[in-house]
Amino acid sequence: MPRTARVKSYDSIYHIMVRSVGDTILFKKDEDKDSLLDIVKHYRDIFLFKVYAYCLMDNHAHFLIDANGADVSRFMHGINQRYAQYYNKKYERRGHVFADRFKSIIVDDDAYLVTLSGYIHKNPVDLKKYKDNIEDYPYSSLGIYLGLRKDDYEIIDSTFVLSQFSSDIKKARELYVKFVGKCNDKKMKAIVEFENDGSQYRSERKILVRNLSPKAVLQFVANYCESITPDIFHIKGKKGAKEFRGVAILLMRSLCNMSYKEICALAGNITISHASSLCSYGFSVIKKNKKYQNIIGDFIKAANSNI
C-alpha cells in the first residue's frame, strides 16, 4: 500500500516517536542512546530546530520538536538514517532498524504541548530502577528541566514549557515536577503512544524564515570568505573552493530548505553523496574555524535586514 502523505507545516511543533523494527532493541547500551543524542545535536546545529523534550527508552524514543521553519521530514530522515548506519555497523547487521517512518503528531496548542512534555517525561516510571525517581533517569530531559543535571548536548529549550507555570524558575520547576507526577490519564497516554492524531499548532512564536535564495547564500559566503567570487561554487579543485562550497551547501540546507538533489543541480550535477560529504565538511569548518563560527547567525541578521 502507498504511504499516506505526512501532515506537516514549517511553523509547527511536533511530537515525534521513533520505534525499533520487530523485536530489535533500539538501544542495546547507554552509548547507543548517547550516539542518537549526538546525532540529534548535529542536525539541530544544521537545521536550527528546537527540542523541547525527549525521552529515550530501550525500543523507542520520544521528542517534542519545534521545526522552526525547517522541513521535519528532511532532518528526521537524516537523523534516523545516520543512527541506522551507526547501529548496523556496530552490531554487524543489515536491514531496517526503525519500524517504518517516524511517527509524528502536530501539537495544536500550548496546553497540549505542556501535557505532552509531562507524559514524555513520565516514561521512565515503567523502569523498576526509576519508578520512584524518574527525574534521575539520564536519558530524559526531565532532569535538565529541574536543574538536576547539565544539558551535555545543549539541545534542550526548557524555557518555553516552564514559562507556562511561572516566570520564576524555582517556582516553575516545583510546579512542573508536581504536574508530571499527576500525568496518569489513560486517554492522554493513548495519544502519546500515537493511537490518535494531532492537529496544527499556531502561536506567537517567531519562526525562522527558510525561503532565502541560494544566490543570496553564495554572495554572502563569498563576501565572508573574502577574495572569492560566487562563481567558485561551480568550479572543482580551485584553491578555496572546497571550503566555500561546503559552507555554502550547509547554509542552503539550513536556511533555503534545499534538498541535496536541488543542490546537486545548482553545483553542476555533482552526486548526492558528494554534496552530502561537502555539507559535512562545511559543518566541520564552521565548528573548527573561528572565522566561520557566527556565519549562520550573521547571515540570518543580514537576510532579516533586507526583508
> Which distant-in-sequence residues (6+ apart) come within 8 Å of 63 by Cβ?
14, 15, 16, 17, 40, 51, 53, 54
Pairing of strands 50-56, 103-106: unpaired
**For residue 304, what is its C-alpha cell?**
532579516
- The reported pLDDT for the residue numbered 150 is 95
How many C-beta atoms surround the C-beta of residue 29 within 10 A? 10
Just give the CATH number of 13-192: 3.30.70.1290
- State percent of the chain over pLDDT 70: 86
Average pLDDT value for residue range 42-66? 95
Q: Indicate the pLDDT class of residue 292, thresholds 50, 70 and 90.
A: confident
CA distance 248 to 194: 38
- The reported pLDDT for the residue numbered 233 is 85
Statement: residue 225 has pLDDT above 70: yes
* Torsion angle of the four alpha carbons 118, 123, 127, 130, in this order, in degrees rounded to the nearest 10: -30
Domain boundaries, the chain: 13-192, 214-305
Just give the CATH number of 214-305: 1.10.1750.10
**For residue 130, what is its C-alpha cell?**
526509576
Pairing of strands 60-66, 103-106: unpaired
- The reported pLDDT for the residue numbered 201 is 32
Statement: residue 47 has pLDDT above 50: yes
- The reported pLDDT for the residue numbered 237 is 67
- The reported pLDDT for the residue numbered 204 is 43
CA distance 212 to 256: 5
What average pLDDT does the chain have? 85
What is the pTM (predicted TM-score) of this model?
0.81
Alpha helices (runs of H) in the chain, residue ranges in sequence order: 30-47, 72-90, 110-121, 142-145, 159-162, 169-181, 186-192, 214-225, 241-255, 260-266, 272-288, 295-305
